[in-house]
Structure 1
Amino acid sequence: MQVLYSYVYSMHFDQISKSLPSYMLLADLPVKERCFEQREALPGEPRCVVCGRYGEYICDQTDDDICSVECKTILLARIAAKTKPAVKAAKRVNLPLGDESFCIKDINFPNIPTLADSRISSLRTKLDICVKGDAVPDPIMCFSACGLPEKLVHNLETAGYCMPTPVQMQVIPASMSNRSLLVSADTGSGKTASFLIPIIAHCSQVRSQESTSNQGPLAIVLAPTRELCLQVEEQAKVLGKGLPFKTALVVGGDPLPQQIYRIENGIELIVGTPGRLIDLLMKHNVDLTYVSVFVLDEVDCLLERGFRDQAMQIFQSLSQPQVMMFSATLHSEVEKMSNSLAKNVISISCGNPNRPTKSVKQVVIWVESKKKKQKIFEIMKSKQHFKPPAVVFVSSRVGADLLSEAITVATGLEVVSIHGEKTMKERRENLRRFLTGEVSVVVSTGVLGRGMDLLKVRQVILFDIPNSIDEYIHQVGRASRMGEEGMAVVFVNEEDRRIFKELVQVLKTAGAPIPRELANSRYTAGVYVGSERKRKLSSRSIYLKDKLVIFRVHAIPEFEACADPTGANCPRLFLNA
């Protein structure tokens, strides 16, 4: 590690060292490794040229003010990238038509073989890709097939992207043809990378070609939660490393001056929540003139009442951008709204949207509210059924804190909680500890339910079932990423009757066992009416003249044996995995 020199004021270091005790010498103080360890700069103090925090050190190679080893590494990487020859980007052809000028991007490269229409249709069918729209570009089979910068392709390989997922195969070429998109795909299918890759390629191309001094943002990604924004920005940094591509994270909980400073010093991508971005637009002079790409991640959530006005206000401040909308759950209302944001939209659907991913095994347990804690303790004490790291979803912030403490006391496991009332610093630290394996369980409200890429998680427990089936699908989806198998354990009782009908439909579609109490509830009436007579229930059943007659069967191989021979008080804990 190269030496970092501390600032010394008023007198020479040798003179100071003679007058101070050994424990106060600057040489004995540990050098701050990470940017977040450094404090904010006070008025008149030097600022880090990378992040704007207190510039406690001077880089020995550039004499620039920096705050930590992390920012020094970033600074040197930027300098190294500037000295490299610019990567040649795809040619753009400007065709003046009348009083307008349109920019057409050629994405069909002569060295890439093209498929016949019949083979393209067959490929989409095999990959479970459905498209709607005019002149939809063909799917790609590899990342190098659409003219990405060589450095970006290298970054993809380094990050473990060997080949594109089905959603990436179709979305990337469609996005690079400058078309607005409405994309629905399974949770964990790679939607985030499918919009970041075209954004990074576009920004790199613009910066390498422009002759002006404009350093304003070129793209905006909106997301509903701070955690999701943080994850998207981190992934953008990894994929954009070594390219003329800088990001700014604009979320509540972080100091606003630092975010403004970051944007003013020149960035290409803003990743933020609607509320904080509105604050920047209303109270500060943030120039969005050159923003040409606008992404709404988890668009169904962003277009709900809480975010809709803010999202529309941000959109109206832009000048006819390319709009890309993504979610695992889309409905007709969202599709109608998308038509008001953009024209000639391409709709892309991959997998089974509006349904939990097939790779997640759903285990629904009927548990009365008073017995929920005891049930989750039993699961986490069982080596057979507890598969850490695990995420536990609850409905309230207070409940998250209380349950995390209770699990620690009852099981001895180290547990953290994440919710909206915690500071951004606490949320980041708890999420970091969970993702790095320091703790095996995180108890969270819905802030981790959407879009979060929790790669090592293979088990989620829905302690409190969410209010809508869409949120249920998103939370269950945290148990599987990129098709890997996972398990979702769901607690349900009569208090969740608002979601019974939709829940039974989802479980039937997935072929998951349905608890007897849920199947027999009056709130699921009508779900079983139809031509199909035999249903896979958690207890055996037969139909007599359209009347459902339940016969309890005590020797059920999928479940642990019931202690009560009558079956009336059978706890029916969980599936034997």
Structure 2
Amino acid sequence: MTFDKLNIIEPVLKALKEKEYSVPTPIQQEAIPVALEKQDLLGLAQTGTGKTAAFAIPIIQHLYNEARQEKKKNKEIKALVLTPTRELAIQIEESFRDYAKYTSLRHCVIFGGVKQKAQTDELRKGVDILIATPGRLLDLVAQGFVSLDAIRYFVLDEADRMLDMGFIHDIKRILPKLPVKRQTLFFSATMPPAISSLSRSILKNPRRVEVTPVSSIVETIEQYLYYVEKQEKKDLLIKLLAEKEEASSVLVFSRTKHGADKIARILCKAGIGSEAIHGNKSQNARQKALSNFKSHKTRVLIATDIAARGIDVNQLETVINYDLPDVPETYVHRIGRTGRAGNSGKAYTFCSQDERPMLKDIQKLTGRVLRPLNAGIGEMSGL
């Protein structure tokens, strides 16, 4: 199937062709027709499956068609996309910019951690589509810069991550401010009880679309395991990066913010260009690091899980789990940063003795047993 078969309007098809997108992903194939029918939708899809286009394209199409029917320009916000992190919000806004390129629709992104003036200036000009993080949205609503009275389309993205980050109370404050009559598109990678309850409270007769369950891993990702003691991980990382010089983009995962900074310092000292990205960094520093990584100015990016949720890099070759995650589903999200859109990818996992239980949980979830490789550094147990 191609996008041409999904009853998408010509301005959006033109933008998709310009981006060289021709074949929709499974979530796009399933979700776009439902959303175009203005039905509520419950989408179960992990990061990297193409779900941003699955909700962005129908919203653009609806608003484009409605704008042509309305006699005068309506400057009220008509679509709201709520997402948990600044990085994701920026990434989603970039997608709307790409897909709405040949329409006159206006869009804006708002998030905390930066001064609000640039954002409020954009809002004053009139916005059709607003992409927001919960905290900044509530701030600007309280200050009178944002009205949600005219919302026709509402997207709650990464609902499970919203829960993890403690935004569930903010969401419950936002929901009563939305019109009762609206289309709601609800996306989550997992469906814990709290998220299932939330979905039931805000969706009306939704169609459920489930693609790529969280335990599954894209077949094009090659997975490798090293048993290595904690103090030797840094030496293994340097050796691995030296051996894999063909990998121009490498994403390294650290469990903590302090650990991410420490890894970056170790690599820079070893002459390997790297930067860290996490919640304690300023928004400008995070965006600069991400921009440098995307443009290949920086070869290695070290990230914590929350910061990495919004990282979307075309043809990312390699992911390295320097630390194993506490939650096994997080492993799937991490290595899902690579092997996208049919491309191949490699994922390396460093496992110390105290992380063996975490590895066992990951293997149970994914149904795969990772076979260790010989790292060839020092005397490391388990090799």
Aligned partners of 1:465 and 1:491 also within 8 Å: yes
Q: What SS class does the counterpart of residue 196 from structure 1 fall into?
A: helix
Distance 1:381 1:289, change over 3 A: same
Residue 458 of structure 1: aligned partner: 317
**1:465 Cα offset (Å):** 1.7
- Is 1:291 the counterpart of 2:160? The answer is no
- Give the distance between the partners of 1:372 and 1:145, measured in 2 at CA: 50
- Whose helix fraction is larger, Structure 1's or Structure 2's? 2
- Give the distance between the partners of 2:375 and 2:74, measured in 1 at CA: 70
Matches within 5 A, 1:86-485: 141-304=1-164, 306-320=166-180, 321-383=182-244, 387-410=247-270, 412-485=271-344
**1:235 Cα offset (Å):** 1.3
Distance 1:419 1:563, change over 3 A: closer
**1:376 Cα offset (Å):** 0.8
Residue 487 of structure 1: aligned partner: 346
Q: Name the TM-score, length of structure 1 as normaliser.
A: 0.62
Query: In the alignment, residue 323 of structure 1 is paired with which amino acid?
Result: T
Aligned partners of 2:123 and 2:145 also within 8 Å: no
Aligned partners of 1:227 and 1:447 also within 8 Å: no
- Give the distance between the partners of 2:35 and 2:54, measured in 1 at CA: 9
**1:146 Cα offset (Å):** 4.2
- Provide, for residues 120-172 of structure 1, a one-character-per-residue CA deviation record: whole Å limited to 9, x for no partner: xxxxxxxxxxxxxxxxxxxxx33233443211110111011112122111100
What runs of 5+ residues in structure 1 fail to find an aligned partner? 1-140, 516-558, 573-577
Distance 1:419 1:341, change over 3 A: same
Query: In the alignment, residue 334 of structure 2 is paired with which amino acid?
Result: Q
Residue 36 of structure 1: aligned partner: none
Higher RCO (Cα < 8 Å, 6 or more apart): 2
- Give the distance between the partners of 1:230 and 1:142, measured in 2 at CA: 27
- Give the distance between the partners of 1:278 and 1:563, measured in 2 at CA: 52
Distance 1:259 1:561, change over 3 A: closer
Aligned partners of 1:227 and 1:452 also within 8 Å: yes
Q: What SS class does the counterpart of residue 306 from structure 1 fall into?
A: coil
What runs of 5+ residues in structure 2 fail to find an aligned partner? none
Q: Name the TM-score, length of structure 2 as normaliser.
A: 0.92
Aligned partners of 2:226 and 2:375 also within 8 Å: no
- Give the distance between the partners of 1:513 and 1:473, measured in 2 at CA: 13
Distance 1:491 1:272, change over 3 A: same
After superposing on structure 2, the runs of 4+ consecutive aligned residues of structure 1 that deviate more than 6 Å are: 561-564
- Provide, for residues 455-506 of structure 1, a one-character-per-residue CA deviation record: whole Å limited to 9, x for no partner: 1212111112222122221111112211322111112224335634421213
**1:382 Cα offset (Å):** 1.3
Provide the alpha-carbon RMSD of the alignment: 2.3
The structure with the larger Rg is: 1
